[in-house]
Structure 1
Amino acid sequence: MRTLSDVRSVSVMLAVYDGAMLFEAAAACEVFGVDRELTDGWYDFRVCAPPRARLTGGWLRVDTPYGFEALADADTVIVPACGDVEAEPPADLVDAVRAAHDRGARLVSLCTGAFVLAAAGVLDGRRATTHWEHTAALAARHPRVRVDPDVLYIDEGTVLTSAGKAAGMDLCLHIVTADHGAAVANELARRLVVPARRAGGQAQFIAVPAVDDTGHAFAELLHWVSGRLHEPLTVPDLAREVNMSTRNLTRRFAAVTGTTPLRWLHTQRVHRAQELLETTDDSVELIAARTGMGTAATLRRHFNRALGVPPDVYRRTFRSHPAG
């Protein structure tokens, strides 16, 4: 399974095929195909497609010198959504995806692109997701795939899948975080004017609010908390701030955001810790205090649980790739 200490992918190839959907293809192009000089060594991005391939609707044709055979050289292969999940994916694309997987490439599907990965057999025995409207069809057609309809995206190491539309952008930013660190991914999200790093385990149906979403029911609370992450805040503290009982806050917060106040708070603390590890020389003990976790042991526990590595390993991985 891919870890933060692995050699980062350099070559990212987007496999466009007849009937691929524009939004997901464009999202991958924006994230991986535009070097905004945020860090050294951005992606070597290519679009691969058969001659005269047309996106959904047939009104936009892809003209690229790279066919599916070029996927053999990719470190990462991205398969965008397909417009017709009932149609069999192109056999040459399925073969190229399977060969890339056998060679050890990282495979990424956006939305219904999961049907292509499933046809290649690379999702067998793995958790995977797709747009909620099509999860039942994916499970029925590919019973060996453990389809999860209730998440934004799933990272299985070398195989990653996402739900529909905006969740595809979430997964792309998640990949940038894994490759270049939280500070770079956050700055990229700001450049693209999208929320930074929604957690993959969030429910598909409910948008997790960005802190700067002023129209959100809990916007003022989220702003209040984000400015006080260094304090030992608890859920009762949050409830008092909005004049609610703890039970009522927990119920309404989950209904609106798809997560609990405590889980959201832990996530914000971990994100802040990531940024401090990347951008400062503060000790783990000081970062624990600055993120409201109190002790280095508590920070290490939550950090390990969220990212799978201890803070010092994360720092060593990403301090050599500072934001530009």
Structure 2
Amino acid sequence: MSNEKITTLHLGANLGNLLTKMVGDVKKDMYMSSVETMLSEGDASLMKNDDHLIKVNGTYYLCGENDVTADDIDRRPIETLHVLTCFGIARQLVSKKSNFTRTGNFRFNKCDVNIVLGLCIDEYKVKTNIDMLYDEFDNKTFDIEYMGIKFKAVLNLIDVLPEGFCHYQVNYEDYANYRSIFLLDCGSKTWDMCKIINGRVRQPDSKDYGTLDVMKDIIKVITNENPKTKVNLTDVELMLRNGSVSVGKQTFNREDFKELIDTKSHTSLTLVNNLYKHEVESSNLIIGFGGGINLVKDSLHNMFGEMTEIKILENPEYTNAQAYYEASFQDEE
């Protein structure tokens, strides 16, 4: 086997409760945050061309195939976090493998990965969560097989950062003209919020206003009206993101659930306004991002658009992962 070492890969990984978002040197990617162990070599061989199948340290796994229930980082199996991270690394390499010199059997020797991981603000405040991630990810080696490529990934955990204001920290020059900013990061389980005054982060907080409840309510409506149709969180997430989704012979449209979405959004934003009324009203800019921001952006503009400027970031579901990716270069500067 060649002793060739792949150029260092950089990866920002937002190990979300519902969707895992990865940003790397080649592509952005997301998938359901679920992992299923494949015990049978025979079953795995039948799925060798399935791009959700990966082999990590001798065990086969299916990634992103099942629904998941949002859970805290300290209650999620570390095996799941390892495999999801290896999955993101492997997908990056498959996307750029034509840029590398390969041996005849597509086997690389080694890939160093500079990685930054992110936690929601509440989880980030717990030091043991950060310590756990360093123990499990820093200077760790994983043997990976994915889509015909075999290699060792050596992880270098550059940092563990909080969701929400990391975007501001790596893009602060873009906001130099704003004295007071309110950040709103809408995730599947929590909304992470903070105020930034004259470049200093104040009052970071996290609340259980996530969009997962909306998605579960939509599933209930669909199931009650179509008892023979099996709709899961993956289907609903795609519908909310893309506007529609087909399940079997039926198509479901986001507009069909507008009243439910608007009601939930208004309720959550009212709670935010009640808790952070002064912080919001005194802001020169509200920055909205996260996978759930598109659900609440209409209500956000209706409630606060007349008093302050509102900016919804492009590709908002990748905002945190993109910030982590940019932060993964910090030791090289």
Question: What TM-score do you get using the length of structure 1 for normalisation?
Answer: 0.25
More strand by share: 2
More helix by share: 1
Question: What TM-score do you get using the length of structure 2 for normalisation?
Answer: 0.25
Q: Which has the higher contact order (CA 8 A, sep 6+)?
A: 2
